[in-house]
C-alpha cells in the first residue's frame, strides 16, 4: 500500500479448496520430494504459482495461478489476514474455464467483462488452450478461441485483440467472431509469418502489439500497421553508436541460419525513384536467386531472403554476395549462411 516500499504476503486457498474465509479454520499438509510437512508449501500447490493479478472497476481482486482463478471482493478494504477468496478451477463444463493455467487477466472497458487466458496443465483431463470471458464475476464463463495458446488480451475502442503463439486474433463484435490478422505489413517491412505474438497495449490513439519480430502499432484498429524493430540506421554517427560509420547497405542477422532465423533482411536506401533489383550470388558470382525486381519511391527499405535458390533448394553453408542495383547506384554486401 506504499508504492512498493514494503510488502505483505497474502494467504490464498489451496488448490483443492473452492473458497477461503477468515471465519473458518483450515489445516493442510504439503509433500515435497517425498517429505510431508504441516504447512502450505508453494512447491507442491499449483494455486501458489501465480501469473496474473487484476483489480476491476468494482475493486475486486482477481488472481490467476496454475490452478485457475481466485476472486476476492474484500482484499482492497480489509487486513491481509482477513481476506476472503473464491477459487474457480477447470471443471470440464462449456460455461467454465477451458484450462487451469491463467496467465493474463484484463477488463474490457466498454462492457466491463473480465477476460483471461487459459493454458493447459493436464490435457488428459480435457483442458484446452483458449481464452474466456465473464460478465457475472466468474459465476459463468464464455469460451473463445479454443485450441489457441493466447499470451495476452487487450482492447481498443470496442475491438478485442488476442496475441497468441499462432498469430494475432481480432474481434470487433465483443468476442462473438474472430479473425486472424493476415501478415502484418508496413510501407517497407513486415512481421514474418512464424512470429509469436506476446503482448497487447493501447494508448489514446494507437494499439500496440509486441511480437518476436518487432512491435506493430495501428491507429485504425488493425486495418493498417506501422512496424518498429531494432533499426540500425545506414547513416553513421547515429544515436545507437555516435562513432558508427555510414553504410550503403547491410544484412541481418548475419551469419544467417535459415532453420533458426527463417529469413535474413537486407537494408538499403533508395535515393532516386526508379527500378530496383536485388540478386544473390555465390562466391563464384553464379546467380543464386533474384529476390527483388520492382519500382521503389525514395526511402529506406528491407528486402528478405529465405536461403532458397531459384530452383527451390536450400543453399549450402557458404558466403554469398548480394547486389542491389538502383536507378542511380549499385551497392553490395555479404551474407554468411551457416546451419
CA pair distance 241, 221, nearest whole angstrom: 35
How many residues in total does the chain contain?
Answer: 339
pLDDT at 238 over 70: no
For the chain, how many helices (H) and strands (E)?
Answer: 1, 26
pLDDT of residue 280: 97
Q: Which domain holds residue 327?
A: 249-337
| pLDDT (tens digit per residue) in 48-73 | 999 999 999 999 999 999 999 999 99
pLDDT of residue 44: 80
| Whole-number average pLDDT of the chain | 92
Give domain status of residue 75, yes or no. Answer: yes
**270, 215: one domain:** no
**148, 223: one domain:** yes
CA pair distance 255, 78, nearest whole angstrom: 58
pLDDT average, residue stretch 158-183? 96
pLDDT average, residue stretch 116-127? 92
What band does 195 get if pLDDT is binned at 50, 70 and 90?
very high
**95, 193: one domain:** yes
Give domain status of residue 207, yes or no. Answer: yes
| pLDDT (tens digit per residue) in 306-321 | 999 999 999 999 999 9
**169, 306: one domain:** no
Tell me the CATH number at 322: 2.60.40.4070
pLDDT average, residue stretch 277-306? 94
What band does 196 get if pLDDT is binned at 50, 70 and 90?
very high
Percent of the chain predicted with pLDDT > 90:
74
Beta-bridged to residue 180, according to DSSP, are 169
pLDDT of residue 330: 94
pTM over 0.75: yes
What band does 237 get if pLDDT is binned at 50, 70 and 90?
low
**307, 219: one domain:** no
Domain count, the chain: 2
**266, 329: one domain:** yes
| pLDDT (tens digit per residue) in 6-30 | 998 888 998 888 999 998 887 777 7
Percent of the chain predicted with pLDDT > 70:
97
Residue 274, C-beta contacts closer than 8 angstroms, at least 6 positions apart: 295, 296, 326, 327, 328
pLDDT of residue 42: 73
pLDDT at 268 over 80: yes
266, containing H or E segment: strand 264-270
**224, 256: one domain:** no
pLDDT average, residue stretch 154-166? 97
Report yes or no: 180 and 164 within 8 Å, Cβ to Cβ: no
**144, 85: one domain:** yes
pLDDT of residue 84: 97
| pLDDT (tens digit per residue) in 91-103 | 999 999 999 999 9
pLDDT of residue 186: 85
Higher pLDDT, 87 or 28: 87
Q: 284: which 3 cell numbers?
A: 563464384
pLDDT of residue 211: 96
| pLDDT (tens digit per residue) in 202-218 | 999 999 999 999 999 99
**293, 163: one domain:** no
Q: What is the Cα Rg of the chain in Å?
A: 26
What band does 32 get if pLDDT is binned at 50, 70 and 90?
confident
Amino acid at each position: 500500500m506504499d508504492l512498493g516500499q514494503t510488502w505483505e504476503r497474502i494467504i490464498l486457498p489451496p488448490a483443492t479448496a473452492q473458497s477461503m474465509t477468515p471465519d473458518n479454520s483450515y489445516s493442510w499438509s504439503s509433500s515435497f520430494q517425498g517429505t510431508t510437512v504441516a504447512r502450505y508449501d508453494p512447491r507442491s500447490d499449483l494455486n501458489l504459482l501465480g501469473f496474473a493479478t487484476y483489480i476491476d472497476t468494482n475493486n475486486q481482486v482477481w488472481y490467476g495461478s496454475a490452478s485457475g482463478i481466485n476472486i476476492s471482493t474484500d482484499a482492497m478494504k480489509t487486513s491481509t489476514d482477513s481476506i476472503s477468496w473464491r477459487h474457480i478451477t477447470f471443471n470440464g463444463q462449456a460455461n467454465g474455464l477451458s484450462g487451469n493455467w491463467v496467465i493474463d487477466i484484463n477488463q474490457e472497458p466498454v462492457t466491463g467483462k473480465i477476460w483471461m487466458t487459459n493454458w493447459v496443465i493436464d490435457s488428459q483431463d480435457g483442458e484446452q488452450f483458449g481464452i474466456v470471458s465473464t460478465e457475472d464475476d466468474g459465476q459463468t464463463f464464455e469460451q473463445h478461441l479454443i485450441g489457441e495458446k493466447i499470451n495476452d488480451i487487450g482492447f481498443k475502442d470496442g475491438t478485442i485483440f488476442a496475441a497468441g503463439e499462432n498469430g494475432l486474433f481480432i474481434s470487433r463484435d465483443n468476442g462473438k467472431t474472430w479473425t486472424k490478422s493476415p501478415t502484418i505489413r508496413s510501407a517497407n517491412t513486415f512481421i514474418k509469418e512464424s512470429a509469436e505474438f506476446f503482448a497487447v497495449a493501447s494508448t489514446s490513439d494507437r494499439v500496440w502489439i509486441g511480437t518476436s519480430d518487432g512491435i506493430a502499432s495501428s491507429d485504425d484498429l488493425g486495418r493498417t500497421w506501422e512496424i518498429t524493430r531494432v533499426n540500425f540506421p545506414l547513416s553513421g554517427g547515429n544515436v545507437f553508436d555516435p562513432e558508427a560509420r555510414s553504410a550503403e547497405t547491410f544484412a541481418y542477422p548475419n551469419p544467417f541460419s535459415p532453420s533458426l532465423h527463417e529469413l535474413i533482411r537486407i537494408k538499403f536506401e533508395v535515393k532516386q525513384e526508379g527500378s530496383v533489383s536485388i540478386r544473390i550470388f555465390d562466391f563464384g558470382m553464379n546467380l543464386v536467386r533474384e529476390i527483388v525486381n520492382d519500382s521503389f519511391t525514395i526511402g529506406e527499405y528491407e528486402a528478405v531472403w529465405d536461403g532458397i535458390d531459384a530452383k527451390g533448394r536450400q543453399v549450402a553453408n557458404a558466403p554469398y554476395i548480394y547486389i542491389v542495383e538502383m536507378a542511380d547506384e549499385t551497392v553490395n554486401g555479404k551474407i554468411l549462411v551457416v546451419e
